[in-house]
Amino acid sequence: MDKMKVTYEAMLGLAAEMMLDEVVLKFRKDRLYQAIDEALISGDRDTFQRLTEELKLLHV
């Protein structure tokens, strides 16, 4: 029974870590989209290109 409990706790920890990673990634993407929109509005081409490259890396 103890081995099953340890395995179960490890699986719960892994699931929690995966969920946290997903939430952090979504937050980062949302922030990048917002910053990209602001760069487009202000006409800041360099920032736009840098941010879109960073966004592409998150999609890999």
Position 32 pLDDT exceeds 80: yes
Print the domain residue range for 35.
23-60
Q: Is residue 11 part of a domain?
A: no
Residue 5 in any domain: the answer is no
Share of the chain above pLDDT 70, in %: 97
Q: Which residues of 40-58 are buried (b: 16+ CB within 10 A; e: fewer)?
A: eeeeeeeebeebeeeeeee
Please indicate, yes or no, if residue 29 is contained in any of the structural domains: yes
Domain presence at residue 27 = yes
Element (H, E) at 44: none
Let me know if residue 9 belongs to a domain: no
On whether residue 2 sits in a domain, the answer given is no
- Check pLDDT > 90 for residue 59: no
Average pLDDT of the chain is: 94
What percent of the chain is predicted at pLDDT more than 90? 85
Nearest in space to 28 (alpha carbons), one of 58, 7, 60:
58
